[in-house]
Structure 1
Amino acid sequence: MVFITESLIRKRAEHNEGQLSTLEEVSLHQQDIEKIEYLDKWCRELRILYLQSNLISKIENVGRLKKLEYLNLALNNIEYIENLSGCESLNKLDLTLNFIGILSSVENLRDNIHLADLYLTGNPCVDHEGYRDYVIATLPQLQRLDGNEITKTERILALQKYDKISKRIEELDQQYAEKRKNQVNEYARTKQERDADENYWEQQSEYTPESRIETHESMKKKRERESKETKTEPKPIRQYIGDDGRPLNCNEPKVDFKMYESDDDRYIILDIAVFRHLDTSLIDVDVQPTYVRATIKGKILQLVLSEEVNTTLSAAERSKTTGHLVIKMLKVKESNTPIETKPQIENKKTSTSSSGKSSTYLELGKDPSSTVDYTQIVNQNKRNSQLKPKTNPSKERENSSDFIDNPDVPPLI
């Protein structure tokens, strides 16, 4: 038996942040509930209540729901309409596919002056002669019965027939009550026979509240038995490293990614399209020489690299615009490239300038103090300043043999 508990209602009240005192609508359908309880104490503000497709056999503990407007009790085991007079705001009542055979029980709805819609389709009372006229005459506040609108003409005719129909309905109710009594006794008498008969569930039987509960319990046991017999295969453990020791590719978080090389062919760059607003604390990156692994919310994205990378010189960061995770990995061949140097000069090279100053070239890799005398730098500069540059006297060019000195021509300056 399934009971209505506080945890069950809170679970169904997620739209109201789990609060019960202000809850206005709750759906408790298909929960195998057999009894209505606690709702009138915990949820006084309820306006809509769904209890269809359960095993409820009696309407109870809803009389204090003063604001209840819609009550759905379809597909249950209800046999009698009762305990609804306290639901002052009740506007719609759905009792489809129950076991209501005492049609006169609709008189208990007279106090529900706001009741406009009533559904009794699929109940034994619908087969009673004069069913619709009796309900219309009994409940003058109704506007629709079983989804069909009630016209003024239909209401007038029903009131005219009421006295005659009510007597006939009373006889039919008595007959149904006697029939139900026999069904209950027969069910109790043949219980052992049904348990012993292996082919019982393959035979057609009468549809009663008892048979419905028995069918439900039988199906429940069958499901439990099948679940035990069916051995669920354990989920295979995912391998990130193959049997040969090589890393394997996998994308558990199912995120988009792009791997490419930098323009200078020195780096391998991995761009992972993680969620933009995902907290960085939920991301972990592990760069290995031959593969890279990114753990996103506990799920692993692992990719094999085409070349070995330097793990110590790799970097990962989030894009400030897209939120993507960008991992930049330096290739090993680039990080190990030696610096090109000029071969060492073994001999000293000296040259003398036009002023007589000598220059000394240092050898690469040697200490300059071993070849240069720093103590003579000041004295040498003084001597160089005292030296005067030698100037050669300019010689005039001799005139040619055919030169004619013309005094009219001004001299060249």
Structure 2
Amino acid sequence: MNKEETALLSIGKPADFSFRKLKSINVDKFLRDIGLEGARYTRVAGVPERGAEKKKFLTRSLWLNNNKLTNTKHVDQMADSVLEYPDELGWIDFSFNYITEIDECILRFNKLKILYFHGNCISDLDEVFKLRNLPELRSVTFHGNPIANHPRYRSYVVSVLPQIANLDFTPVVRNERLQPAPPEVVKKLKEIDKAKY
């Protein structure tokens, strides 16, 4: 990555593929039907610059919101297809889809800081556990999913993801971190520890 690309990557506009009626992340179909030229430019007044080497987008943000996705499977392949430096990905917006399941391929992006899942169909709190191994994750959203109706939803997510600073656009405060983990979290952590040994 040269200096110019580093600068563009740090200020780059998102690769915005929202409102494209995507039902799944099928890279071959995506490249054939939409391609990089199909990136939306109206919401952020342009598209990201392209890299010199692969001619893919120089950005750390991938927006897939307002589609018809039911899971996040193959988002790693999508990032490889549209981003010049996919391992630098720091923000993925999956909001307002039909997602019920978070695929573990998302863990490849260990520089992810922001993940939006609001307005989806995630009903199993265990899906949140899949994000524990994203060390730089700071902001995550799940409001508008069935899991947000769980009586201990916020304390559950804060316990499971101690690295986050914001949940559903609201800062995680010190008192929340001092609360004991909900019984479901304690049980799940014990199961994970047993599986390791």
1:109 alignment partner, SS class: coil
Structure 2 equivalent of residue 76 of structure 1: 97
User: Among residues 129, 133, 157, which one is paired with 1:111 in the alignment?
Assistant: 133
Q: Equivalences for 1:188-267 in 2 at 5 Å?
A: none
Report the alpha carbon displacement of residue 110 of structure 1 after superposing the two structures with TM. Answer: 1.1
- Map Cα deviations across residues 117-156 of structure 1 (whole Å, 9 max, x no partner): 0011100000112111111011110000001111122111
Structure 2 counterpart of 1:147, one-letter code: F
2:107 alignment partner, SS class: coil
After superposition, the Cα gap between the structure-2 partners of 1:42 and 1:57, relative to the gap in structure 1 and judged at 3 Å, is farther
Structure 1 counterpart of 2:158, one-letter code: I
Q: Equivalences for 1:1-400 in 2 at 5 Å?
A: 25-38=14-27, 43=56, 46-63=59-76, 65-83=86-104, 84-157=106-179, 160-162=180-182, 164-166=183-185
2:148 alignment partner, SS class: helix
Structure 1 equivalent of residue 34 of structure 2: none
Inter-partner Cα distance in structure 2 for 1:73 and 1:43:
21
After superposition, the Cα gap between the structure-2 partners of 1:133 and 1:76, relative to the gap in structure 1 and judged at 3 Å, is same
Comparing both structures, which one devotes a greater share of its residues to helix? Answer: 2
Structure 1 gaps of 5+ residues are: 1-22, 170-413
User: RMSD of aligned C-alpha atoms?
Assistant: 2.6
Comparing both structures, which one devotes a greater share of its residues to strand? Answer: 1
Q: Which runs of 4+ in 1 moved over 4 A?
A: 41-46
Preserved CA contact (<8 Å) 2:101 2:127:
yes
1:49 alignment partner, SS class: strand
Inter-partner Cα distance in structure 1 for 2:55 and 2:65:
20
Inter-partner Cα distance in structure 2 for 1:43 and 1:34:
23
Q: Which has the larger radius of gyration?
A: 1
Preserved CA contact (<8 Å) 1:44 1:66:
no
1:106 alignment partner, SS class: helix
Report the alpha carbon displacement of residue 61 of structure 1 after superposing the two structures with TM. Answer: 1.9
Preserved CA contact (<8 Å) 1:116 1:144:
yes
Inter-partner Cα distance in structure 1 for 2:111 and 2:153:
25
- Map Cα deviations across residues 35-94 of structure 1 (whole Å, 9 max, x no partner): 12438x985854111111111111022336311111111111100122211011111011
Structure 2 gaps of 5+ residues are: 1-11, 31-53, 81-85, 189-197
2:177 alignment partner, SS class: helix
Inter-partner Cα distance in structure 2 for 1:91 and 1:133:
20
Task: Give the TM-score taking structure 1 as reference length.
Answer: 0.32
Inter-partner Cα distance in structure 2 for 1:48 and 1:145:
19
1:35 alignment partner, SS class: coil
After superposition, the Cα gap between the structure-2 partners of 1:129 and 1:168, relative to the gap in structure 1 and judged at 3 Å, is farther
Inter-partner Cα distance in structure 2 for 1:147 and 1:122:
13
Inter-partner Cα distance in structure 2 for 1:42 and 1:57:
29
Structure 1 counterpart of 2:126, one-letter code: S
After superposition, the Cα gap between the structure-2 partners of 1:126 and 1:46, relative to the gap in structure 1 and judged at 3 Å, is same
Structure 1 counterpart of 2:97, one-letter code: N
- Map Cα deviations across residues 363-413 of structure 1 (whole Å, 9 max, x no partner): xxxxxxxxxxxxxxxxxxxxxxxxxxxxxxxxxxxxxxxxxxxxxxxxxxx
